[in-house]
Structure 1
Amino acid sequence: MASLRGTAARGIRLALAVAVAGALVGCSEGATPDAVAPTAADGGLAPVPSLGAPTDFATGLAAPWSVAFRADGTPLVSERDTGRILELSETGEAREVGAVAGIRSDGEAGLLGLAVDDADRLYAYSTTPGGNRIQRFVLRGEPGGLALGSPQTILDGIPDANFHDGGRIAFGPDGMLYATTGDAGDRPASQDLASLAGKILRMTPDGDAPDDNPFDGSLVYSYGHRNVQGIAWADDGTMFASEFGQNTWDELNVIEPGGNYGWPEVEGIGGGDGFIDPVQQWNPDEASPSGIAIVDETLFLANLRGQVLRAVPVADPTQHEDLLAGEYGRLRDAVAAPDGSLWVLTNNTDGRGSPRDGDDRILRIDVRS
Structure 2
Amino acid sequence: MSRPAVLKALGGVAALVFAAGCSSGGDTGARGTSPPPGSASSPVSSSAPAPVRGDGRVTVAGTLAEGLRSPWGLAALPGGDLLVSSRDERTITRVDGRSGAKRSLGEVPGVVPGGEGGLMGLAVRDGWVYAYLTAASDNRIVRMRYDGGDGDRLGPPRPVLTGIPKGTVHNGGRIAFGPDGMLYAGTGETGETGLAQDRESLGGKILRMTPEGKPAPGNPFEGSVVYSYGHRNVQGIAWDAEGRLWAAEFGQNTWDELNLVEPGRNYGWPEVEGGAGRSGFVDPVAQWPTSEASPSGIAYARGAIWMAGLRGERLWRIPLDGERRSGEPESFLSGEYGRLRTVLADADGDGRLWLVTSETDGRGTPGSGDDRILRLEVR
Where on the TM-score scale, by shorter chain, does this alignment land: which range? 0.7 to 0.9
Report the counterpart of residue 12 of structure 2 in structure 1. Answer: 41
Report the counterpart of residue 333 of structure 2 in structure 1. Answer: 324
Aligned residues of 2:60 and 2:374 also touching (Cα < 8 A): no
Which of 323, 337, 344 in structure 1 is aligned with 2:355? Answer: 344
Letter paired with 2:335? G
CA–CA distance in structure 2, aligned partners of residues 106 and 85 of structure 1: 17
Give runs of aligned pairs for residues 149-298 of structure 1, distance below 5 A.
149-298=155-304
Report the counterpart of residue 67 of structure 2 in structure 1. Answer: 60
How far off its partner does 1:103 sit? 1.1
> Could you report, residue by residue, the CA deviation over 1:7-26 in whole angstroms, capped at 9, with x for unpaired residues?
xxxxxxxxxxxxxxxxxxxx
SS across alignment from 2:12:
helix
CA–CA distance in structure 1, aligned partners of residues 60 and 159 of structure 2: 41
Higher mean C-alpha displacement, 272-281 vs 94-103: 94-103
TM-score of the pair, normalised by structure 2: 0.83
SS across alignment from 1:357:
coil
Taking every aligned residue pair, what percent have the same amino acid on both sides? 52
Report the counterpart of residue 116 of structure 1 in structure 2. Answer: 124
Aligned residues of 1:123 and 1:134 also touching (Cα < 8 A): yes
> Could you report, residue by residue, the CA deviation over 1:150-190 in whole angstroms, capped at 9, with x for unpaired residues?
21101111100011000000000100000011001111111
Letter paired with 1:159? P
Report the counterpart of residue 58 of structure 2 in structure 1. Answer: 51
SS across alignment from 1:188:
helix
Aligned residues of 1:49 and 1:298 also touching (Cα < 8 A): no
SS across alignment from 2:254:
coil
SS across alignment from 1:266:
coil
Report the counterpart of residue 22 of structure 1 in structure 2. Answer: none
TM-score of the pair, normalised by structure 1: 0.85
Which of 71, 78, 91 in structure 2 is aligned with 1:71? Answer: 78
Letter paired with 2:287? Q
RMSD value, Cα? 1.7
CA–CA distance in structure 2, aligned partners of residues 127 and 327 of structure 1: 31
Structure whose residues are more often helix by fraction? 1
Letter paired with 1:241? A
Letter paired with 1:363? L
> Could you report, residue by residue, the CA deviation over 1:209-266 in whole angstroms, capped at 9, with x for unpaired residues?
0231011111010000000000000010111100001111111111011110000000
Tell me the matched-pair count.
Answer: 324
Report the counterpart of residue 33 of structure 1 in structure 2. Answer: none
Any unmatched runs of 5+ in structure 1? 1-38, 43-47
How far off its partner does 1:50 sit? 2.2
CA–CA distance in structure 2, aligned partners of residues 123 and 267 of structure 1: 31
Report the counterpart of residue 128 of structure 1 in structure 2. Answer: 135
SS across alignment from 1:263:
coil
How far off its partner does 1:326 sit? 0.4
CA–CA distance in structure 2, aligned partners of residues 327 and 111 of structure 1: 26
Any unmatched runs of 5+ in structure 2? 1-9, 14-54
* 1:355 has 2:363 as partner: no
> Could you report, residue by residue, the CA deviation over 1:5-61 in whole angstroms, capped at 9, with x for unpaired residues?
xxxxxxxxxxxxxxxxxxxxxxxxxxxxxxxxxx6339xxxxx97222341100000
Letter paired with 2:346? A
